[in-house]
Homo-oligomer: A and B are copies of this chain.
Amino acid sequence: MIIDEKIHNSLNRFHFYSGIRFDTLPENEQSIIFENSKLVSLEKKKVLFRQGSFPNGIYMLKKGMVKVYQLNYDGSVQILFIYSPCEVFGYRPILSNEYHPVTVAALDSCELLFIDRNRFLEVLQKSVALSNQLLFSLSHEFTVMTNRINVFAQRGIKERLALALLILNEKFKNENNGTEIAEIKLPRTDLANFVGTSLENLVRTLSFFKEKRLIRVKGKSIFIEHFENLYILSAID
């Protein structure tokens, strides 16, 4: 089978991996930020904060995974991000002086560090390193969002799912130990809401991938088989 080189290029050229971390900051900056942080536990399925609520502070995920989603008036749900350990979130509405645009809930039992809103803003005013890191990350994340809009608007479910699985593989790789092929363990409904399709259509597309041996399914877990080919092949046939 001849695979258009352009497809490969365009995938490589595009940025789809998101998530902001503070562990790239200088040691002393990190310790200042986390100085007065509080450890928070969050049970599986519990909500950390809801869309429309006031942002009281920022969080860093220590253990477990969370989903970030919007709930719509018709009951539909769009999952926007999945966060895995070390990732930081909840700071954007503080910076833009808005309410939370999203809801965050635990996918499994989680532990987080909480940093108070004012504390965060204080540190930000003093730390050029933090300010620059945020400018860098926000700009990069923006590129990622740009690419995602393109994918959501222009691609069918096969490609969207393939891309979602590649993103999730990174997230779960991070959550687990670090093996190249991660165990993607996410309820089908969540996966459907992440990809932006119906549960049934999602399941059918998974079966299609399974038949083509692009993925392997064990119970509720998904493993990517043909890493490089997954996105490319999903676009063809």
Summarize A's interface: helix, strand, loop or mixed.
helix
Minimum C-beta distance from A19 to chain B (A): 13
Q: With A7-B73, A96-B139, A145-B142 given, is the CB distance from A153 to B52 under 8 Å?
A: no
**A28 within 8 Å of B by Cβ?**
no
Judging by beta carbons under 8 Å apart, are A78 and B154 in contact?
A: yes
Is A123 close to B, CB under 8 A? no
Q: Given A142-B141, A153-B196, are A135 and B73 neighbors across the interface (CB < 8 Å)?
A: no
A134 vs B138: C-alpha distance in the bound complex, in angstroms? Answer: 10
Chain B residue contacts of A143, Cβ below 8 A: 92-93, 96, 98, 101
User: In the complex the two chains form, is B97's CB within 8 Å of A10's CB?
Assistant: no
Instruction: State whether the Cβ of A150 lies closer than 8 Å to any Cβ in chain B.
Output: yes
Knowing A93-B143, A143-B101, A147-B101, the reply to whether A73 touches B138 (Cβ < 8 A) is no
